[in-house]
A and B are shown apart, each in its own frame.
Chain A
Amino acid sequence: MRKLFKLAWRDIWRNRRRSFLTMGAILFAVTLISVSISANVGTYDATEQLMVRLSTSELQVQHRRYHEERTLENSLDETLIDAADLTSQQAWITASARRLSGFGLASSDSSSAGILIVGVEPDKEPGVSNMVRVRTGDATLGQEDHGAVLLGSLLAKNLNLSPGDSIVVLTQGYHNVMGAEIYVVRGLVRASMPELDRAVMVMTLPAAQQLFSMPGRFTELVLRTDAHNKAKAYAALLQASLSEPDYVALPWQTLMPELDQWRRLDDASNYIFYSFLLLIIGFEIFNTTTMSMMERVREFGVMMAMGLKPHQVGGMVALELAMKVLMGTVAGFVVAVVVVYFLGQEPIPLTAGMKEMYDDIGFVTDGIYFSSKLSIYVFPVISVALMALASMLFPVIRMRSFSPVKALRAL
């Protein structure tokens, strides 16, 4: 075995250029797929956190029908759920805030627009999301600022309003009670999600409860957790502790299904690309391996004539190929780790055009991030190694079935 190992090792370096080509192809595939997966995972992770932070936060408690049917009748009763209680029971909840969301019609002197009204607790909302992040220089909402509102910057632009202007709001509230109120625009919200920026109007929770004629009620209890990727497990935990059967705990994946769907769709298209790449690499390896085997057929015939058994010939060839795959894969892994490390130091900023393109499809990101999780290397290393080994299988099997006399006749 040791001698076969020695032979196999020397055979690798017999035609250095071809061996380097084979190992280089493996290295290239492992590196390219690793870096691509790293960028994908890193950017999606960052985007998920960003989008979750911008709107839904990680978990919400809602009425069980609210997610499907967003009416004020499907709201929560303050007397049946206590955020402070939940937070004290579940140590992983790091912040909580109540929200009341409803729809209305807003009018300025010059125009009107349909709006999303969100009543928040101004002191608690920053703990769960960036919804009330105002533009630089603008004032924000105070705890008792019940007569003031914040407008999405695009909404303000459409209504031709600026901080200090008045805005009239009409709503159809709880049990269809009509609501009408006039507010002062305190500041403008810079929501990174364009659809939110175009429609959102933020006010204090008591002001919203009054506008919608639903004191003591709200639509969402928004919760921040200590790990955004554990949201599903936390939702299940929380659900078990909710005493009201009509109330449900929903993770961000359920609240923003499009985000998860985008990721799956993108992953699927990426894996199709990886499959093609693997196929090309596989053919390249098959080609160089077959060439390398075919030009040594006579040599194998001599060895077999001298008493080397067919399985030993196959084993020697397999050993040689396995060593090439191992070296190519390890080198690819090392190069990929180094490349990902350097790319991961700072996200690659998006150009204005790309950012606009992403904004248009509602995908919020400020750059391309690279994940350095060890799991990103699992698929490239295993798939490339398996593909390389599979493409070498045919020559190995052929070697095993060679008859020595035919091999000796080979040129």
Chain B
Amino acid sequence: MPDPFLVEAEGLVKVYRDRSHVPVRALDGISFAVAPGEFTAIAGPSGSGKTTLLNLIGSLDSATAGTIVVAGQDLSLLSRRARAEFRLRNLGFIFQSHNLIPVLSAAENAEFSLLLQGMPARERRRRVLAEFKDLGIEEELTRRRPAKLSGGQQQRVAVARALVSRPKLILADEPTASLDSKTGARLLDKMRDLNMRTRITFLFSTHDPMVIDRARRLVTLRDGQIASDETHA
């Protein structure tokens, strides 16, 4: 019987040492699960552990204690190299400040993960153009480098980059933070639409009300613990 959850975290603890080597408990025994196809926002004040939780789910960081299983894989059992391979095959990331590679064109940025997966050039190009069309990125922008794109265009390319490999889970860390409200709302609607159509799971870290309003589930963190977990209709 297939696992009903895409993400299962049990007793997650993450302790950092700050600059004065004082231990800081960023996550304090969090347990939670995400089912496939969810459109979930993790909210909370700054320092509540949102980004840390996203980093652990994204296998970018390791937990101090507890287990985390994503797409049936216990992340604590993976080497650095295996984690990279895991991210490549299962995850997509959208960052706060687009983080496109400046020396690559918009299309080259979007196809980067497909390239790492070893997909043939023709197929890569076909999928990128389809994704761009879906996200409303004009064809003349495909050859432009990020510096020649507006903030909204850059973030749409970043979304296309995360979506194009059809990952099981997309982790978006404050995706609207660097966008004006109109552009942000449009992009969020697009992502929700994609979620409905493709059943790709979206997990946001945010304190933007626009994201929170559109999320079907809202997990609120406070001081490294889950303060509330609500599902909207």
Contacts and interface: CB of A to CB of B under 8 A. Distances in A.
B116 A306 contact: yes
Contacts of B89: 307
Interface in A85-139: none
Contacts of A298: 99
A7 interface: yes
Given A302-B95, A303-B112, A309 B84 contact: yes
A306 B100 CA distance: 11
B103 A10 contact: yes
A357 to B, nearest CB: 56
B60 A309 contact: no
A405 interface: yes
B99 A307 contact: no
Contacts of A307: 84-85, 87-89, 113, 116-117
A368 interface: no
A3 B99 contact: no
A404 B104 contact: no
* Chain A interface helix/strand/loop/mixed: helix
A388 B116 CA distance: 30
A302 B116 contact: no
Nearest to B96: A408
Nearest to A13: B103
B18 to A, nearest CB: 13
B113 A306 contact: yes
A305 B93 contact: yes
A306 B61 contact: no
B81 A309 contact: yes
Among B80, B87, B103, B116, chain A packs the most CB atoms within 10 A around the CB of: B103
Nearest to B89: A307
A14 B102 contact: yes
A305 B158 CA distance: 13
Interface residues of A, number: 21
A178 B117 CA distance: 99
Contacts of A408: 60, 95
A289 B112 CA distance: 25
Contact of A308 (B60, B103, B116): B116
A11 interface: yes
A7 B104 contact: yes
A403 B58 CA distance: 13
Contacts of A145: none
A404 B88 contact: no
Interface in B153-209: 161
Contacts of A308: 84, 116
Contact of A306 (B55, B102, B112): B112
B112 A11 contact: no
Contacts of B103: 7, 10-11, 14
A284 interface: no
B78 interface: no
B91 to A, nearest CB: 8
A11 B161 CA distance: 20
Nearest to B84: A309
A306 B89 CA distance: 9
A302 B99 contact: yes
A221 interface: no
A404 B61 CA distance: 8
Contact of B81 (A303, A311, A404): A311
A37 B93 CA distance: 55
B115 interface: yes
A223 interface: no
A310 B55 CA distance: 17
B101 interface: yes
Give me the 9 closest cross-chain CB pairs, A-B, nearest first: A307-B88, A10-B103, A405-B61, A309-B84, A405-B60, A302-B99, A404-B60, A307-B87, A305-B93
Given A299-B99, A308-B84, A404-B61, 20 more contacts: A7-B104, A14-B102, A298-B99, A299-B102, A302-B95, A303-B101, A304-B60, A304-B84, A305-B60, A306-B87, A306-B88, A306-B93, A306-B116, A307-B84, A307-B88, A307-B117, A403-B60, A404-B60, A405-B60, A408-B60
Interface of A: 3, 7, 10-11, 14, 298-299, 302-311, 403-405, 408
12 contacts: A7-B103, A14-B103, A298-B99, A302-B101, A304-B60, A305-B58, A305-B93, A306-B88, A307-B88, A307-B113, A308-B84, A403-B60
